Amino acid sequence: MIDELRALPPVTWIRAIPIALLAALLIGIPSDLIENPIFGRPVDTRPIDYVILTITSALIGLVFAIRMPADASEDVVDASERNETRTMWGGWFSFMAVGCPVCNQAVVALLGTSGALSWWAPVQPFVGALAIGLVRWALRTRLQTYQLAACPLPERTPV
């Protein structure tokens, strides 16, 4: 995968930076990892929250920055759209992983405040690992479909 990333055109890396920053803002502001006057957080952040935010934002930026060629086949375009769906789910899981455990109304409704702190908070790093894995899988698949679209297989001629 590293070689495939190195083979990307430089413009892809330039596109990835603002997309990754936008992803970091969309995840970091509501979860109050990025200090702001709108959202508060009664539970302190953990260093792992920033690691999860950084990795998922960078991967999301790369996935959305890789553009399929205009003449890509419909199969490649469909695979690309599925990757975007996986990436969005990865972003959602990342938000759940770094968010305040007692600020999540669904978790508090299901587990109560003490359950959110005693059960959900310890599970959040694993949810973060799931988010990273999901977005990494989307990036891996995006790179494969990009390679297929950029260098399509030759047509088979009947013998």
Percentage of the chain lying above the pLDDT 90 cut? 34
In a domain, 36, yes or no: yes
In a domain, 157, yes or no: no
Quote the CA–CA distance of 121 and 98 in Å, as a whole number. 9
Residues 6+ positions from 132 with CB-CB distance below 8 Å: 52, 55, 56, 59, 90, 94
Distance of CA 50 to the CA centre of its chain: 14
In a domain, 44, yes or no: yes
How many separate domains does the chain show? Answer: 1
pLDDT exceeds cutoff 70 at 70: no
Q: Tell me: the pLDDT tens digits for 119-151?
A: 888 999 999 999 999 999 989 988 887 776 555
In a domain, 67, yes or no: yes
- Summarize the confidence of residues 38-47 as an average pLDDT: 86
Q: What is the pLDDT of residue 9?
A: 86
In a domain, 156, yes or no: no
Quote the CA–CA distance of 60 and 26 in Å, as a whole number. 12
Q: What is the pLDDT of residue 133?
A: 94
Quote the CA–CA distance of 9 and 56 in Å, as a whole number. 21
Residues 6+ positions from 20 with CB-CB distance below 8 Å: 57, 58, 60, 61, 62
In a domain, 159, yes or no: no
Q: Tell me: the pLDDT tens digits for 10-23?
A: 899 999 999 999 99
24 touches 57 (CB < 8 A) = yes
In a domain, 102, yes or no: yes
Least confident of 48-52, 70-74, 87-91: 70-74
Quote the CA–CA distance of 107 and 80 in Å, as a whole number. 32
Neighbouring C-alpha atoms within 13 Å toward the C-beta of 98 = 29
**With bands split at pLDDT 50, 70 and 90, how would you rate the model's confidence at 69?**
low
Range of the domain at 65: 2-150
Tokens 């109560």 -> residue = 112
- Summarize the confidence of residues 24-37 as an average pLDDT: 91
